[in-house]
Structure 1
Amino acid sequence: MRIDRFTKLVRVVRERNGKFGAMCDRGLCLTWIATAQARRRDLDAAAVTAAQALDVAAMVESGRCTSLLTDLAADLEPYRAARPVTAALERLASTNC
């Protein structure tokens, strides 16, 4: 019986969140991936993934996503001289992250 109530709750949450919830999750995941790439010093991949995360963030307003993007900018800052990082940081700055 308890599983049925949980299943129903999950269904209701998914219906209410719909695409917004999925997009928000995608933005968070992309930001986490970009952060991991930056910390591995895979700067080209980090810049590409950060751009994808910013595209998603532009569609949804998520405080968590914004906070994570701010942290990502701090992780990328030491590598500002690298061309892809410069572009990513400029875009991060222009979106007020």
Structure 2
Amino acid sequence: MADQTEKEPIDFFQVLMMMLEQSASIAWQKLGLQPDLITGTIHADFAQAKVAIDVTVDLAKHLEGKLDESDRREVQNLIRDLRLNYVQKSGGQS
């Protein structure tokens, strides 16, 4: 018997949240705080980390009105942690 569950159309805000999570994950990798998913090695690249953090911030702006208070706090904390770690690890270089 065929699956009779009704399918929902894609929710772009869910896609944005996945993109935010992916860009944040790459930011952690580029800060040298997590191993690279492809190579498994730790390698810092602060220029790429900065772009990944900036993209994460931009995506969060588009999601602001769509998140509940708990998720909003979680995203704000994530961005704060990324920024603090960037400054600590890079010495503030751009």
Q: TM-score, normalised by structure 2?
A: 0.64
Equivalent in the alignment of 1:88: none
1:83 equivalenced with 2:93 (yes/no): yes
Equivalent in the alignment of 1:50: 53
Alignment of 1:1-97 (within 5 A): 4=3, 8=5, 11-12=7-8, 15=9, 18-39=11-32, 40-61=43-64, 62-63=71-72, 64-79=74-89, 81-84=91-94
Give how far 1:80 is off: 5.1
Give how far 1:48 is off: 0.8
Give how far 1:18 is off: 0.9
| Structure 1: unaligned runs, 5 residues or longer | 85-97
| Structure 2: unaligned runs, 5 residues or longer | 33-42, 65-70
Contact 1:31 1:49 in 2 (8 A): yes
Where do 4+ consecutive residues of structure 1 move more than 2 Å? Answer: 61-67, 79-83
Q: TM-score, normalised by structure 1?
A: 0.62
